[in-house]
Amino acid sequence: MAALSEWQERLEETALAPIRRTGRRFWALVAFLLAVIGWGAYAYSVQLRDGLVVTGMRDRISWGLYISTFVFFIGISHAGTLISAILRVSQARWRTPVTRMAEFVTVVALVCGASYVIIDLGRPDRLLNVVIYGRWQSPIIWDVLAITTYLTGSITYLFVPMIPDLALFRDRLAGRTSRWRGWLYTVLAIGWNGNATQRRSLTSAIGVLMILIIPIAVSVHTVVSWIFAMTLRVPWNSALFGAFFVAGAIFSGIGILIIVMAVLRRAYHLEEYVTEKHFVYLGYLMATFAAIMIYANISELLTHGYKLSEGVEFHFRQLFLAEFAPLFWFYLLGGLVTPIVIALLPATRNVRGMVVAAVLVTLAMWIERYVIVVTGLRVPLMPYEPASYAPTWVEWSLLAAGLALFALLITVFTKVFPIIAVWEVAEDHEATVAPPGTVRPAALETPKLAGEVGP
């Protein structure tokens, strides 16, 4: 058993390392991110002073980069739900070392996404009117309800499985860290001591939460699609939109998770726990969702294009040939086809290949959201000249600030909370190490996929 406890010790040390040591590069990164956020704050102050006229949004194209980025962030928030809840329900054990990161991404992405709705408001000072005068007939109110529910749910779902790890931090860091940290872990660990009753409660709480969070997550992105699909705009007129948005959300969520995993793995030396296998498995999952997205696109474009009813010809021309053609073709070929090719070819089926695929997917999915929003509003419904839209420096600055805020919140989280679900990884490890005494290498027992490249 000595080997096992040594293994456990190493795991705990890895989890504690980010909190024990903070290098100069960390502070440099934080300073850089804060600078970008500060620039965004300046841009927003200009917008607050002069109004939405400083953006490219006008009366005919009244939603633009902000709403696209909102949809994008809400989309990537599905990383946590998918990895954590769906894989937990299906008892895929390989997920355990990356669940915590996925749940971080969910909460942080939701916070970033929700802030873009406020940035997009013409009168943010009247935000409370949404609560005071809210009407259920408006899809925007459905969104407000869905996103606040999802945020509450995912914070709970992040917190509950973290309790034993917070208790570990409380015990291991007692007296060896700043007072506020000690206080924070004591409060958040809510008296966890790992006895049988507590363990039973924890297991059943997680069981309930993982089932609950799935329908909430699915409904959130469906409702996000409905703020578009419930209007009379030609390209948005689709019953497929909800499912299409959910698939796209999970797709981009996997992409961003692979990127976050790669960054944290390198920064905090997690190679023993976050292995190539995790990247490859997630890459397979991402390729599957790329296939679903291709299917959805064909289904959507063909039903519109075959009938070519009013406005569709204009829409197809702007997508495939004219103004939006470079973006749309990049999305189709670079964002949907290439990730599948990368996952299929043995030569690129490795960490580097999957990270490249994930970057392509993330970029393509932002572009997809942008194209959906802007082209949808651009198709003329009246016999007027088509309107145009180009984001201004204010909008680009706020996009950069949002991405910086996302990175900063993840960075800060990793410095405060355990980035690896220590107790779950340990539990899985114990379950796979048999018979006692004969310790196999750290790799976790998982069903092998055909063609898998071993860790």
Partner 1 sequence: MTRMGFSIDLERCVGCQACVIACKTENGTPRNIHWMRVLEKEEGAFPDARRSFTPVRCNHCANPPCVAACPTGAFVQRADGVVVVNESVCVGTMACLTACPYYVPARYDGGDGYFGKKLTMYEEAKYSNFREGTAQKCHFCYPRLDEGRPPACVEACPADALNYGDLDDPESPINIELQRRRHFRPREELGTDPSTYYLVGKGGGPAVGVS
Binding footprint of partner 1 on the chain (CB under 8 A) = 50-53, 57-60, 62-63, 120-124, 126-127, 129-130, 132-135, 137-141, 144, 227, 230-233, 377, 381-384
The radius of gyration computed from the CA coordinates of the chain, to the nearest angstrom, equals 23
Cα(437)–Cα(17) distance, integer angstroms: 27
**Judged by CB, which is closer to partner 1: 381, or 449?**
381
**Residue 361's Cα: distance from chain center in Å?**
12
Smaller CB separation from partner 1, 201 or 309: 309
Q: Would you state the structure tokens that stand for residue 141, as one six-digit string? A: 């109110």
Print burial letters for 24-45: b (CB count within 10 Å at least 16), e (below 16). eeeeeebeebeebbeebeebbe
Q: In whole angstroms, how close is the CB of 260 to partner 1 at the nearest point?
A: 31
Which CB, 383 or 435, lies closer to partner 1?
383
**Would you say 224 and 248 are in contact if contact means Cβ atoms under 8 Å apart?**
no
| Distance of closest approach, residue 146 Cβ to partner 1, in angstroms | 13
Q: C-beta of 139: minimal distance to partner 1 in Å?
A: 7
**Would you say 139 or 334 has its CB closer to partner 1?**
139
Q: For residues 153 and 23, what is the distance between their CA atoms, to the nearest angstrom? A: 34
Which residue lies nearer to partner 1 by CB, 141 or 416? 141
Between 71 and 261, name the residue whose CB sits nearer to partner 1.
Answer: 71
**Between 123 and 307, whose beta carbon lies closer to partner 1?**
123
Nearest by Cα to 369 from 357, 361, 379: 361
Give me the half-sphere count of Cα atoms (radius 13 Å) on the Cβ side of residue 46: 14
In the complex, what is the shortest distance from the CB of residue 249 to partner 1, in angstroms, rounded to a whole number? 21
Nearer to partner 1 (CB atom), residue 51 or residue 436: 51
Burial of 397 (C-beta count, 10 Å sphere; 0-12/13-18/19+): buried
Least distance to partner 1 from the beta carbon of 380, Å?
A: 9
How far is residue 266's CA from residue 12's CA, in Å, rounded to a whole number? Answer: 18
The smaller minimum CB distance to partner 1, of residues 64 and 161, is found at 64
The distance of closest approach from Cβ of residue 242 to partner 1 in the complex, given in angstroms and rounded to an integer, is 18
Is 455 buried (19+), middle (13-18) or exposed (0-12) by CB count in 10 A? middle
What sign for the dihedral angle of Cα 45, 52, 404, 109?
A: positive
How far CA 155 is from CA of 20, 149, 230, 322, in Å, comes to 25, 10, 30, 43
Output the six-digit token pair for 453: 């490249």
Please name the amino acid found at residue 122.
Answer: G
Cβ at position 376, least distance to partner 1 in Å: 9
Report whether 73 contacts 110 (CB < 8 A): yes
Residue 217 CB, nearest distance to partner 1 (Å)? 22
Name which of 134 and 451 has its Cβ closer to partner 1: 134
- At 181, the amino acid letter reads R
Structure-token pair, residue 159:
């917190």
Cβ atoms of residues 279 and 355 within 8 Å: yes
Q: Minimum distance between the CB of residue 374 and partner 1, rounded to whole angstroms?
A: 12
Query: Which token pair is 363?
Result: 């970029």
Q: Least distance (Å) from partner 1 to the CB of residue 424?
A: 41
Under DSSP, the state recorded for 307 is H
Q: For partner 1, which is the closer residue by CB, 55 or 106?
A: 55
Considering the complex, what minimum distance in angstroms separates the CB of residue 28 from partner 1?
38
